[in-house]
Amino acid sequence: MTQQITPQLRQWIVEQAQAGHPPESVLKSMLASGWTEAVAIEAMEATLSSHLEQGAGQQELPPTVTVPDAQLDESPLYVDAGDRTVHVLNVMVNPRIVVFGSLLSDQECDELIALARPRLARSLTVATKTGGEEVNDDRTSSGMFFTRGESDVVRRLEARLARLLNWPEENGEGLQILHYRPGAEYKPHYDYFDPVEPGTPTILKRGGQRVATIVMYLAEPEKGGGTTFPDVNLVVAPKRGNAVFFSYDRPHPVTRTLHGGAPVLAGEKWIATKWLRERRFE
Ligand code: PD2
Ligand code: ZN
């Protein structure tokens, strides 16, 4: 039986490319749904080249910007972050994802949790339609924000992050603390603000786009609760004191920075997240 390249299949292939999925993963999905390899490759080549010829592929990507990063050029095992030597555990180039070890001491983790606990409320996410905030079923944690420089431990950590990631402290949003109980999760999302959403221009007035995220693990669950990067099949284990850093140089899925917090299966997970903006965050 020959396999037909239908208009629906062509449309699906174009959508996958537009969503930033690399050809290998599109091919893998097609093989998994029963397409023979030769037909799948031909369908992808024919569809994407004719799509490009029609000019539809000329859709402009947002321009790239400079992003924070640690100085890892000489593949160091440790980085001097001013008041603390931070361990480099894993480094991925594209997408840029770095796992750091021992970024925080146990005492700092405990202090942040103790300061946050009485101020927790059900987590809100930015309402992209309006630029305000809303409760969202994709995010079943509870959390709070510290203001920048609010206490000794917060100031110390902010200075350490600025030095580690070579990015001004003032470009950081206030530190956010999140608490996940068993069953709580954060479904995969991008941290940048979607340029096509109507609320985005308002959000950008406070310091431009988000360009990087660092998620720091303050208390580890017994099972589950890893930070997932579905586009690259990566799960970062939520080990206390460690952190995962990732950057995105344009607000677009081509950055492959889709990420989520997997459901906590046992125990409790506490994290601190710092989002870094292009410019001073007011
Ligand atoms: O808790 C996490 O692992 C997680 C996952 C995705 C945190 C965030 N996003 C975030 O704070 O942006
Ligand atoms: Zn996130």
DSSP string, 219-258: E--SEE-PEEEGGGTEEE---TT-EEEEE-SSSSGGG---
pLDDT digits (tens, 9 = 90+) for 131-154: 777 667 667 789 999 999 999 999
| Stretch 118-122: mean pLDDT | 91
Helix (H) or strand (E) holding 277: strand 269-277
pLDDT at site 3: 78
Rounded Cα distance between 141 and 118, Å, is: 15
Task: Reduce the DSSP state of residue 126 to 3 states and report it.
Answer: strand
User: Which atom from ligand 1 is nearest to the alpha carbon of 238?
Assistant: 3
Token pair 């995220």 in the structure block, residue: 213
Residue 109 Cβ contacting ligand 1 at under 6 Å: no
Poorest-pLDDT segment among 5-19, 75-89, 237-251: 5-19
For residue 120, pLDDT beyond 80: yes
CATH of domain 78-277: 2.60.120.620
Atom index in ligand 1 nearest the CA of residue 180 equals: 1
Mutate to test the pocket of ligand 1, among 185, 187, 215 (most ligand atoms within 8 A of CB): 215
Q: Specify whether the CB–CB gap between 146 and 154 falls below 8 A.
A: yes
Q: Does residue 1 surpass a pLDDT of 60?
A: no
Cβ 239 vs Cβ 220: under 8 Å:
yes
Q: Closest residue (by CA) to atom 1 of ligand 1?
A: 261
To the nearest whole percent, how much of the chain has pLDDT over 70? Answer: 94
Average pLDDT of the segment spanning 152-169: 98
Q: For the CA atoms of the chain, what is the radius of gyration?
A: 21
Q: How far is CA 89 from CA 77, 155, 239, in A?
A: 7, 25, 12
pLDDT at 56: 54
The whole-model pTM stands at 0.80
pLDDT tens readout for residues 43-75: 878 877 776 666 555 578 999 999 999 999 999
Domain segments of the chain: what residues?
7-57, 78-277
Ligand 1 in reach of 220 Cβ (< 6 A)? no
Is 140 close to ligand 1, i.e. is its CB under 6 Å away?
no
In this structure, the residue with its CA closest to atom 7 of ligand 1 is 261
**Nearby residues of 200 by Cβ (< 8 Å), 6 or more positions away:** 128, 131, 193, 194
- Evaluate whether 107 touches 157 at the Cβ level (below 8 Å): no
